[in-house]
Amino acid sequence: MKHFLIATHGELSKAFIETLELIAGKTSNVSYFGMTKLKSGDLAKEELKKILTAKKEDEHFIVLTDVFGGSVTNICTELLMEHKDFDIITGLNLPMMLTMILSGDELSIKDMINEGVRSAKEGIIHINKLVETQEGREEDDLIITD
């Protein structure tokens, strides 16, 4: 069974879960961690370690973090090097999170991660450029393909 840990700076992780629940309803396989000014690196590491080691026997954690090179991702990476029993994906955005969490058990962990990363990348669009390329075209031409 997949369990997701949304781990970010500040209260962003909590807001991501609230947004997920707004869109898809309550989920039981998602938890969160927020790195605040009140938490030292050591305290944060202990809290994350406690979350990641409290998993059930058949659970696999997938940790979604906000920024590569940020303190949250770095601490999670330290824990990964110690335990090597979970996955970390950084660069979290809403399309990634929705794709991964809503995939259920239909996809393998590897395929689910690949789909999540693909969705994250495809969800990044510079609208101004899109509008510039679409000006003057028929409505049917506004459908974007590769």
Residue matched to tokens 């809503």: 102
Q: How far, in Å, CA of 98 to CA of 78, rounded?
A: 26
Mean pLDDT value of segment 31-39:
94
pLDDT at position 130: 86
Tell me the residue range of the domain where 54 lies.
2-142
pLDDT tens, 73-103? 999 999 999 988 999 999 999 999 999 999 9
Residue 139 pLDDT greater than 70, yes or no? no
Average pLDDT of the chain is: 90
Query: DSSP states of 78-131 as a string?
Result: HHHHHH--EEEEES--HHHHHHHHTTTTSS-HHHHHHHHHHHHHHT---HHHHH
CATH number at residue 78: 3.40.50.510
Residue 138 pLDDT greater than 60, yes or no? no
The structural domain count of the chain equals: 1
pLDDT at position 77: 97
H/E element, 33: strand 30-35
